[in-house]
Each structure stands twice: as C-alpha cells, then as structure tokens.
Amino acid sequence: MNVNGFYDTIFKRKSIRKYDLSPLDDNSLSDIIMFIKDLNPLYPDIETEINIVLPNDIKGLIQVKAPYYIVAFSEVKEGYLTNIGFMLQQMDLFFSSNGIGSCWQGWPKPTKELRNNLNLEFVIVLAFGLPKEKLYRESIHEFKRKSLKQITDIEGFDELIEPARLSPSPSQPWFFTGERKTIHVCCVKTTGIKAKIKSIDKLNRIEIGIAICHLWIAAFHFNKKIDFFCN
C-alpha cells in the first residue's frame, strides 16, 4: 500500500459532518473497494471484515447523514479494537487524500441482518461521501488537541508523536512513554462522568489504534523501520 501522501494529509484533515448525498462515481467506488482489500492490519492474525453499506443498512443514533458507511467487524482477540482503529484510520486518510470526506461514528450499528451474517463482532462505523463543507483545515492551529507535553515524556521524537497527537479523538486517551528505540503507547484511564459511559473503554482502545496509525505513517515518511508488539 502506498501511504506516502497520507503524512501531509494528517496535518490538514478534519471530520466531515455535512455531505452531498449523491452517489460517488463507479471509478471512485472501485478505488475504495481495492483500498479496503489492501489495508494493513496492526495484528495480521486477527480476522476482520470491512464492508461498504448504504444508509438503510445502518440503525441507531446516526450522528452524521452520509451516502455511504463503512462497517468494521472483527474476531475477538487481544488487541482487536486497536487493530480496527489502525485499519480504519488508513481509510480515513485515504478518503481525505482523494477529495472524499469521512467521520468516525461511535453510536450507529449495522442492521441485525448484517450483524447476523458474520461470525465476527461488530466494532464501529465510518461515514463517508463527497463533502458539503470545506474538506481541509486551513491551519494546524484549528486542531483542538492536548499539547505534546501532556501526552509524552519522550524527548527528541516529536516528528513521530506530533502526527499521533493530531489523530481524530474526542477524548485523546493516549500517552507515549519509553525512549527512542521503544515507544510504549498507553491508554489513559477515563475518570469522572465519562467513565460511566458504557462504551468509553471500547472507543478509547479504537482511538489508540488511530494514533498508532498516524505514528506508523510518520515513521514511514521519515524512513524509520517500525515493529509492533502487544503487551
């Protein structure tokens, strides 16, 4: 998979919440289907299924009305939520790099019929389509994110952690520690009112995968070899 252009996209992408509901052209849909088949998993031994569905196939609290949705299913294994976050963030960056908007959706679910057709667990939805608002941020200052000092104690590795800092996330649950040869990505425990939300731990683990995806793309951009280990 060619992710060269994704590095620059990290610094301007944004979540799109308003869409032109007209369908994409056949060539665009074919490219999306091919890209899905070529996604890099964080953990290759975890079975996944990632499909494109239409609005009628999605139920529940739909936060964003879009012409298409990606639904992700996974085998339940150690690290499976982080793995899906890692994979679908590649889709998010692919969309943004190709003039298509997308937005992570924590609440909607595919219909019961779709869920019952697979022996895998439904994980999350990603909305996508042609944007009906500006696709990109005009400045990095538009990102509302924690500072580097709040998310890492590693010195001299900003070129990798800064892209991870800009990952889409309402809670930004990550902390990066370790040293230049080994980075430990930790999921900060949620406290307060948010901790009472039933799905918060699941979403946090998905968001860790999103941040790792950005870190991986930055490493690729700077010609650094990177291996992943799950503790």
What 3-state DSSP class applies to 176? strand
Query: Chain-wide mean pLDDT for the chain?
Result: 91
Residues paired with 48 in a beta bridge:
74
* Confidence label for 102 from pLDDT (cuts 50, 70 and 90): very high
Give the DSSP H or E segment for 157. Answer: none
pTM of the model: 0.93
* Confidence label for 199 from pLDDT (cuts 50, 70 and 90): confident
Residue ranges of domains in the chain: 6-131, 140-221
Residue 192: pLDDT over 60: no
Would you say 143 and 162 are in contact if contact means Cβ atoms under 8 Å apart?
Answer: no
Both tokens of 209, joined, read 């995968």
pLDDT tens readout for residues 33-83: 999 999 999 999 999 999 999 999 999 877 799 999 999 999 999 999 999
Residue 198: pLDDT over 70: no
**Residues 6+ away with beta carbon under 8 Å from 155:** none
Residues paired with 175 in a beta bridge:
186
Residue 182 confidence (pLDDT): 86
CATH C-level class of 6-131: alpha beta
Q: Dihedral of CA 151/225/167/79: which sign? A: negative
Would you say 187 and 82 are in contact if contact means Cβ atoms under 8 Å apart?
Answer: no
**Residues 6+ away with beta carbon under 8 Å from 106:** 63, 124, 199, 203
Mean per-residue pLDDT for 96-114?
93
Mean per-residue pLDDT for 2-8?
82
pLDDT tens readout for residues 107-148: 899 998 888 777 899 999 999 999 999 999 999 999 999 999
* Confidence label for 171 from pLDDT (cuts 50, 70 and 90): confident
Mean per-residue pLDDT for 178-184?
83
Residue 200 confidence (pLDDT): 82
Residue 122 main-chain phi, psi, to 5 deg: -65, 140
